[in-house]
Structure 1
């Protein structure tokens, strides 16, 4: 694995923001982002939002060369939107690719902290569950589900991150180039577990920095029972595969 590189090589930055019916939220989040990171570029990946989010994104792009838009014809899920955005980024010269939600739950003001950690890491996770991280205005059942999902993923996979399901993170391009993104089929927050776990298995350095996660003020959450079930089933399969590989290695050593 390549060693983390110096700060001077961590530009330019692209923030990938997937959208579906986020017209009310998109412009404020882009404005806040550029207030703290004026040089960052934004890629809005819109899944054919019927509320006109894609049209608004086009207007923002026409007025600002730092804003780009990737239109998709249907709602195909968070994972597919990010994979499309990553592919777009890797066709260009971005050194850092960031994941961030459009709904305001990820504070752009926390992003400089993520980027500041990249000189010593390959993937930086914005974490709600490390010292200094917190959740604001979240229903108790959502927080219970989130903490439970993270605990289960850590136990099943033997992974160290305390917030492996979070969707606010910064990748070095070298990570995404090596992860075989065309093989990723996960959706929802399972996609976040999948990408982080692949990064860890590939031997890259993963660190967490604290963030403040706030419940969206406008629009509807995309969380559903299907998303939770997908994560449980896939993480269980990955965990069993990991245990099987460990047992196989043990028998080989003893043999």
Structure 2
């Protein structure tokens, strides 16, 4: 599991311990973006005590997507056939990872979803839930894909999926990275499954979500959606002209 961190000193040891207890066969790769609060040092201590924990130190905070891309590259180079994503703040419960692992038997990408039947969100105000649900509805309508929680960050990819969707061409570095990879997977004709999870808002530390992150996501999704509509129009036009 790739686990990006920035100032998660209060959470990292706790969440890694839960993950290692819930799934002892799963390795953990912490990708720290130069946290000034000592998160990187805690990660190194965990790796020193546990050979199934490793750490990548980055020198600057370059965005969630950039951290995941770095982690994916390290994991692919190491030969892993299944590569996952998980937040370090405790919002993704390691005890539910078995649901994603089971679903991967019949999928190329599995998403732990808040918005399929059985999924839920704990301790979010209604305003944030409305924003998240509205954003996902916007994604479905504009991009024409049926993923109900395209912004979710609890995921498992097959190696072949990451290789097929061309990670080298991914330019999204913020939270919209999650939507970008789901969209690429759908466009590649691969199988996406969503399984219900209980998402729990962090209890310690500060959220990295802010208005700038939201506006970047909206801008990029709109651009992708308009491009998709242009491509659909071109395909329809070519179809009408074919004798």
TM-score of the aligned structures, taking structure 1 as reference length? 0.93
Which residue pairs with 1:7 in the alignment? none
Which residue pairs with 1:90 in the alignment? 76
Provide Cα deviations, 1:177-198, integer angstroms capped at 9, x if missing partner.
1222122121332110000000
Equivalent of 1:174 in 157, 160, 168: 160
Does residue 211 in structure 1 map to residue 224 in structure 2? no
Provide Cα deviations, 1:21-47, integer angstroms capped at 9, x if missing partner.
001100111111111100110000000
Equivalent of 2:30 in 32, 44, 48: 44
Is the Cα–Cα contact under 8 Å of residues 66 and 174 in structure 2 kept in the other structure?
no
Coordinate RMSD, CA, aligned: 0.7
Which residue pairs with 2:133 in the alignment? 147
Is the Cα–Cα contact under 8 Å of residues 166 and 189 in structure 1 kept in the other structure?
no
How far did 1:230 drift? 1.0
Provide Cα deviations, 1:115-168, integer angstroms capped at 9, x if missing partner.
100110000000000111000001222111110110000000011011010000
Between the aligned partners of 2:169 and 2:127, the Cα distance in structure 1 is 32
Equivalent of 1:114 in 80, 100, 124: 100
Is the Cα–Cα contact under 8 Å of residues 187 and 227 in structure 1 kept in the other structure?
no
Which residue pairs with 2:16 in the alignment? 30
Between the aligned partners of 1:187 and 1:152, the Cα distance in structure 2 is 20
Moved over 4 A (4+): none
Does residue 254 in structure 1 map to residue 226 in structure 2? no
What count of residue pairs does the alignment treat as equivalent? 241
- Secondary structure of the 2:30 match is strand
- Secondary structure of the 1:97 match is strand
Residue segments in structure 1 that go unaligned for 5+ positions in a row? 1-14
Does residue 131 in structure 1 map to residue 110 in structure 2? no
Between the aligned partners of 2:165 and 2:97, the Cα distance in structure 1 is 23
Which residue pairs with 2:171 in the alignment? 185
Is the Cα–Cα contact under 8 Å of residues 136 and 151 in structure 2 kept in the other structure?
yes
- Secondary structure of the 1:189 match is coil
Does residue 156 in structure 1 map to residue 138 in structure 2? no
TM-score of the aligned structures, taking structure 2 as reference length? 0.98
Which residue pairs with 2:222 in the alignment? 236
Between the aligned partners of 1:189 and 1:50, the Cα distance in structure 2 is 21
Residue segments in structure 2 that go unaligned for 5+ positions in a row? none
Between the aligned partners of 2:163 and 2:239, the Cα distance in structure 1 is 33
